[in-house]
Amino acid sequence: MNDRAAVRRAWGGGPAHRAYSVVVFVLLASLDNVAIGLVPPLYGSISGALGVPQRLLGLVTAVSFLVSAAAAVGWAYVGDRTDRKPLLMVGTLIWAAGTGGSALAQSYPTFLVAQLVAAVGLGAVGSVGFSVVTDLISPRRRGLVMSFWGLSQGVGTLAGTLAGGLLGATDWRRPFAVLAVAGLAATVAYLLTHDIRRGQSEPELAGALAAGAEYDYQITRADLPRILARRTNRWLVLQGLTAQAAFGSLVWLPLLFAERARSQGYSPATAVVVGSVFATLFQLGGVLSIVGGLVGDALQRRTPRGRALVAAVGILAAVPFYLVLFFVPIRIDVPDGGGTGAVVGAVLASVVTEPTVGLSLLTAVVALALTSANSPNWFALIADVNPPEHRGTVYSLGNLVNGVGRAAGNGLVGVAFHGLRAAFPPPLNYAVGLAAFQLFFVPTGIMYWLASRTSPRDIDAVADLLHTRAERL
């Protein structure tokens, strides 16, 4: 009986339950990015089925980014004031319904509305989930855990790209239906997670909370000017405008490689698979965000400027590698018209048999590894310079600006491709357009350097505030 009671206590908030909760939030955060990455590889198939040009589907993606980011602000503000688990469950059900509706859409307006419904629900997953995870993890390990959080989102985008190209090669509706079912399963997983107390990971509050006190501070409208008054917050939010303009353009990467396949004589169906697999392979460097998180944690223990400096160096150093990636020619050798498995196998084999593919992969891994240092350190910095009741809202404000930047990058690069077509025939117009948009990383790196100058004072201010509140509690 005692053993059973001990197991129940462990599952009721002990290490096992907390570990399960972290894993669930990290893994399920990837699902919203699966939804984001699902549509671009299918632009050609969906446009043909719905009878609209591809640029209108690019508009769907861009508007979805904006709607999701705007909705996240509302979700986060409510989450910083109330119980967060029900919000996550409702948000998950909403995006699952929108994704399922996308699979059933028979016209462009219906598809657009379904995608926008999904976007509203997706806004809850990132913003509210971020607030929960920061309350589970101590400051010393934030970079590492946030690297898994960011990595899960990157993996989600890759999974969406791959699922779109593979599951949707012959039927574009299938991946949307599969993802809707995954959303329903996610809702069940949320039910079993631990109810995390706000502020429970903060060292300054540990004594008071262990004594039975409750951190009951909530965000109010009066806090918004204070949030914006923190100079580090301003740099962390504004950098997303330029960073995401560059990142947003990368959703067209599958199309670049698909066009390269078409230019070498492959059929449209084979080209879609080739583009999706190459784009997935070339983004594997994002896995190294774990290294960026570890380095950020280590340097942050030496200097309070550490996380921001790691992000600044990574972003700026990646630019030349991206420029090389888009222009290195690759020779594609796959069985045209063959089954999906045969095409995927041929692409994977070309990594070691075709030098141009191997060189491109190495360049891409280095570029993604460097830029991936941005994600975990951005997440961790938001937690470091803000008290617990502000973090979800600050994250969502940053995500809103990210959404504007990503929508701009995603939408304007499509216009750039069209404008460049007169001077550069496909696929060269795609390479030139993508390369130009990576220059937006330069101001991003500068803003991180500026954040490194302001973050020490803001971190100290939060620590002093939490010490004062702990005494009151």
pLDDT tens string 357-377: 888 888 888 888 899 888 889
Q: How many helices (H) and strands (E) does the chain have?
A: 21, 0
Q: What letters, b where the CB count within 10 A reaches 16 and e where it falls short, cover 307-317? A: bbbbbbbbbbb
Q: Residue range 37-61: average pLDDT? A: 83
Residue 14 has pLDDT above 70, yes or no: no
What average pLDDT does range 375-402 have in this prediction? 89
| CATH of region 2-472 | 1.20.1250.20
Residue 236 has pLDDT above 90, yes or no: yes
Query: Cα separation of 357 and 385, whole Å?
Result: 43
Phi and psi torsions of 161, nearest 5°: -60, -45
Phi-psi region of 199 (alpha: psi -120 to 50; beta: other; left: phi over 0): left
Q: Can you give the residue ranges of every domain in the chain?
A: 2-472
Task: Report the pLDDT value the prediction gives residue 13, as an integer from 0 to 100.
Answer: 58
Residues 6+ apart with CB under 8 A from 138: 201, 203
Give the chain's mean pLDDT: 84
pLDDT surpassing 90 at residue 454: yes
Distances (CA, A) of 333 to 265, 269, 280: 11, 15, 17
Tell me the mean pLDDT in the region 240-246. Answer: 91
pLDDT tens profile 303-335: 999 999 999 999 999 999 988 888 877 888 888
Region of 337 on the Ramachandran plot (φ > 0 left; ψ -120 to 50 alpha; else beta): left
Q: Are 473 and 213 in contact (CB under 8 A)?
A: yes
pLDDT at 1: 41
Other CB atoms closer than 10 Å to residue 473's CB: what's the count? 17
Complete DSSP assignment for 363-403: HHHHHHHHHTTHHHHHHHHHHHTS-GGGHHHHHHHHHHHHH
Q: Full-prediction pTM beyond 0.75?
A: yes
Query: Is the pLDDT assigned to residue 4 strictly greater than 50?
Result: no
Rounded CA-CA distance 24/78 in Å is 22
User: 38 with 160: CB under 8 angstroms?
Assistant: yes
pLDDT tens for each residue of 340-358:
788 888 888 888 888 888 8
78: pLDDT confidence band, cut at 50, 70 and 90?
confident
